[in-house]
Amino acid sequence: MNDCYKRNNNKYDWLIFYDIDEYINLRAYSNIKYFLNKKKFSKCEIIYLNLIVHTDNNQIYYENKSLIERFPETVPRTKPAGKILEIKFILRGHLKKLKIKNQHYGNKNLKNCNGFGKPNTRKYLYTKEPDYKYYYIDHYYSKSTEELIEKILKGDCRYNSYIKYNKIERYFNQSNPTKEKIDLIEQRLGFNLSQFKYLY
C-alpha cells in the first residue's frame, strides 16, 4: 500500500484500498466521484467506511449468478463475527511523508471522517456509528463452501497450516456449520476439523 501510494499519490485526488472480494456500496450515489466531491469531505484526508460481511447463504457449490443474487444474507449483529466493526479507507492523494500502518487502521494522524463527513475520534479509528444504511463496503469473505476451499488452496503470503485453519474457523464464525460443508472441506483439503468441537 505504501509503495502504491508513493507511486500514484501525485496522479490522483483519492486512492482506495480494499480487497477483490469487497465492493463499495454508496446507495444514493451512482458514481463515486459525486460522493467524493461533496463539500463535507473538503477537509478530510482519509475517509473510513464500515464493512458488512456476507454469509455463504448456505450455498455449498458455485452458481453462475451475481454475488448480490447469491449472497444477500449478512452476518447478524448478534453473532460475535457481526459485532466486529472493521473499516477500510479512502485516502486523499498529494499527502507528504505518509506512512500507512495497516489496511484497517490507516493513519490516525490524518484528518479523518466517516461516510457522513464527520470526524471520528474512536480508538483504532473504527466508525463510531456504523453507516450501514448509507455508506459501507460489502465483504463477500467466503462465498460458497466450494469457493472458500479454492481460496484456501490458492494460498497467500502467510500460507501455512495455522492460516488455513484460521480461514476455516472464521468461515464458520460467519456462516452456519453443516455436516455437508465440514465433509467437503475435510475431503478437498485433507483436514481433520475435529479440533473445532463446536462444529460437531
Q: Are residues 159 and 126 in the same domain?
A: no
What is the predicted pLDDT for the residue at 162? 62
All cell numbers assigned to 155: 494460498
Q: Taking residues 162-170, report their average pLDDT.
A: 81
pLDDT digits (tens, 9 = 90+) for 22-40: 999 888 788 899 999 999 9
| Domain, as residue range, for 172 | 145-199
Q: How far apart are the first and last CA of the chain?
A: 40
pLDDT band at 84 (very low <50, low <70, confident <90, very high): low
pLDDT digits (tens, 9 = 90+) for 41-57: 999 999 988 888 999 99
Q: Are residues 192 and 117 in the same domain?
A: no
Residues in CB range of 83: below 8 A, 6 or more apart: 77
What is the predicted pLDDT for the residue at 179? 92
pLDDT digits (tens, 9 = 90+) for 93-133: 999 888 888 887 777 788 988 888 888 655 444 555 555 66
CA-to-CA distance for 87 and 135, rounded, in angstroms?
Answer: 11
Residue indicated by cell numbers 456504523: 130
- Give the total number of structural domains in the chain: 2
pLDDT exceeds cutoff 80 at 151: yes
Q: Are residues 46 and 19 in the same domain?
A: yes
pTM of the model: 0.84
Which residue, 139, 158, 186, sits at the end of a domain?
Answer: 139
